[in-house]
Amino acid sequence: MDIVIYIGGAVLFFALVMASIALHEIGHLVPGKIFDVKTTQYFVGFGRTLWSRRRGETEYGIKAIPLGGYVRFVGMYPPGKNAPVNAVRASRTGIFQSMADQARAAEWEGIRPEDEGRLFYQKKSWQKLIIMAGGPLMNIILAFLLLLAVTSVYGVYRTQTTVRSVQDCILAEGATDRSCTGKPTTPARSAGLQPGDRIVAFNDAPIRSWEEMSAAIRSNLDRRARITVERGGQRVELTPVNTVVTGVPHMWDPSRRVAAGFLGVEPMLQRERGGPIVVLNDMGKMAQQTGYALVRFPAKVYHTAADLVTGKPRDVYGPMSIVGASRAAGEVASTDKIGAADKVATLFSLLGSVNLFVALFNFVPLLPLDGGHIAGAIYEGLKRQLARLFRKPDPGHVDTAKMLPVAYVVGGAIALSGVVLILADIIDPIRLF
C-alpha cells in the first residue's frame, strides 16, 4: 500500500508542476493575444505531438516530453535595419552573425504581408515587457496563493525564542561518538539555560524572534554574551559566558559550513497562521535564498555530477530536478512520520516553492529565458526614450537575434544540468525520511 501511495503522490505532484508550467505559458499567451501578436502555437511539453487542436490561428496541444512548454509568437526577430517587412538582410561573415541570420531567415519563412503590425518585434517595448514577464509573474501569483492557503488555513511551523533543549557539550563536526566525555561544555549549558526558558535579550539588546537571536549569536563569535530569559514569569539574568567560534551551516546554503558564534541551544517550533503580509515576507526570504542558490547553481550541478561519478554521498541540500521533487513528494505522501494534515501542507508548500523557483529562474536576464527577452525590451525602451529626450532619430528595434549564440550556450547548459540532475535523482535520490 505504501508504494501505491508513494507513486500516487509523486505522479500527482508531477502533474501539478506541469499544470503550473501550463499556466506559466498562459501568462505569456493571454497578454500576447490582448496585444494582437500573431500566435501560432501553445504547447505543454516538447518533442513529438501527442494531441493538438487548432482554435483560430493558434494550435493548442501536448507533447511527449513533459519537461516544459512554449508559446510561439511570430516575428520575434526584426528583419534588420531598413529592410522591408518580409525581407531578411543579406548574411554577413562571422559565425555569430551567420547564426543570427539563419535563425532570422527561418523565422521569416512563414511571415506574410498581412501579418504587418502583428509581429512580436513590432509591438511597443512596454507590451513586449508585459508579454514576456507574464509567465514568471503567473508563477509568482501561484506561489503566493499556494503559500497563503497553507499559512492561513493550516499554519507554518516557526522557530520560537523559547528553548526546547540545551546541548551538553560541543561535538566536532562529523563526530560519531555522541558522548560528552572529555568534551567542552557548551556556552548555553554553562550560562544555565534550561528548556522552557524564553530568551528576551542578548547583550542587552531585545530579542523579538529566533532569527534575531541566531544572527546575534553568529555575529558574537567568541565574545562575551549576556543572556536574559523569562522563566516562571520572571526575568532572569543568566551567568555571562563567551560564545565559541565553530563551523555552523551557512544561513542560505546549509551544505556550507562557515565560522560563526555558537551557543548550543535548540529553539521550539510552533505552528502559526498568518495572512498575506506574512506570506509576502516569507516569499521575500525564499527569494533571497533562491537567488543565492541560482548564483551557485552551476557549481552545485558540477559537484552533483562529480559525486555521482565518484560514488560520494549526495549533498542533501543540493539541487534536484522535477523528478527529484516528485520523488520527495512521494516520500512525504507515503511516510508515517507526519500526519495527513502536515503531508498536505508540506506538498502544497513544496509546490509553492517550485513555482517561486521557476519564476526567479526565468527572470535571469539571459536568452533563451524570459529574462533575456525582458532585458531586451527594457534596453529597447531606454534607447528610444533617450533618443526622444535628446531629439535624435528613433534607434529602431533591438535585434535579439544577435544574442542567439548566448542562447544556444545557455540552453545547452540548462539541458545538460537537467540531464545530470535527473540521473542523480534516479540513481542517488535525496531522501527526506
**Domain CATH for 233:** 2.30.42.10
CB-side exposure of 369: number of CA atoms within 13 Å?
Answer: 20
Cell numbers linked to 93: 561573415
pLDDT digits (tens, 9 = 90+) for 216-269: 999 999 999 999 999 988 999 999 999 998 887 887 778 788 888 999 999 999
Is residue 218 in some structural domain?
A: yes
Q: Decide if 387 is inside a domain.
A: no
Say how far apart CA 225 and CA 239 lie, in whole Å. 9
Say what the pLDDT of residue 242 is.
94
Q: Is residue 211 part of a domain?
A: yes
Query: What gap in Å lies between CA 1 and CA 3, rounded to an integer?
Result: 5
pLDDT classification of 84: cutoffs 50, 70, 90: very low
Contacts of residue 378, Cβ cutoff 8 Å, sequence gap at least 6: 125, 129
Read off the pLDDT band of 96 (50, 70, 90): very low
Under 8 Å between Cβ of 111 and 119: yes
Residue 78 lies in a domain: no
Closest CA relative to residue 370, chosen from 15, 19, 22, 24: 24
Predicted local confidence at residue 130, as pLDDT:
96
Cα torsion 422, 427, 428, 429: sign: positive
Contact (CB, 8 A) for 396 and 388: no
Buried b / exposed e over 204-220, threshold 16 CB at 10 Å, is eeebeebeebbebbbeb
pLDDT one-digit tens code per residue, 267-283: 999 999 999 999 999 99
Inform me whether the pLDDT recorded for 366 exceeds 50.
yes
User: What is the predicted pLDDT for the residue at 432?
Assistant: 79
Q: Mean pLDDT highest for which of 24-28, 110-114, 299-303, 400-404?
A: 24-28
User: Average pLDDT for residues 2-29, to the nearest whole number?
Assistant: 93
Determine how many CB atoms are found less than 10 A away from the CB of residue 432.
14
pLDDT classification of 106: cutoffs 50, 70, 90: low
- Specify the 3-state DSSP secondary structure of 192: coil
Catalytic residues: 25
| For residues 173-181, average pLDDT | 70
pLDDT of residue 92: 45
Q: What is the pTM of this model?
A: 0.87
pLDDT band at 104 (very low <50, low <70, confident <90, very high): low
Containing structural domain, residue 249: 157-272
Dist. CA 59–CA 157, nearest whole Å:
45
Strand (E) or helix (H) holding 27: helix 2-34
What is the total count of domains within the chain? Answer: 1
Q: Mean pLDDT score of the chain, rounded to an integer?
A: 88
Flag whether 246 is in a domain.
yes
Helices 404-427, 322-334: axis angle to 10 degrees equals 30
* 170 in any annotated domain: yes
State how far the Cα of 422 lies from the Cα of 160, in Å rounded to an integer: 37
Whether 237 is covered by a domain: the verdict is yes
Q: What average pLDDT does the segment 321-338 reach?
A: 91
- Between strands 227-231 and 198-202, the pairing is antiparallel
Q: Based on C-alpha coordinates, what's the Rg of the chain? A: 27
Report the share of the chain in percent with pLDDT over 70. 91
**Cell numbers at residue 5, please?**
501511495
pLDDT at res. 63:
93
**Half-sphere exposure of residue 85: CA atoms within 13 angstroms, side-chain side:** 13
In a domain, 26, yes or no: no
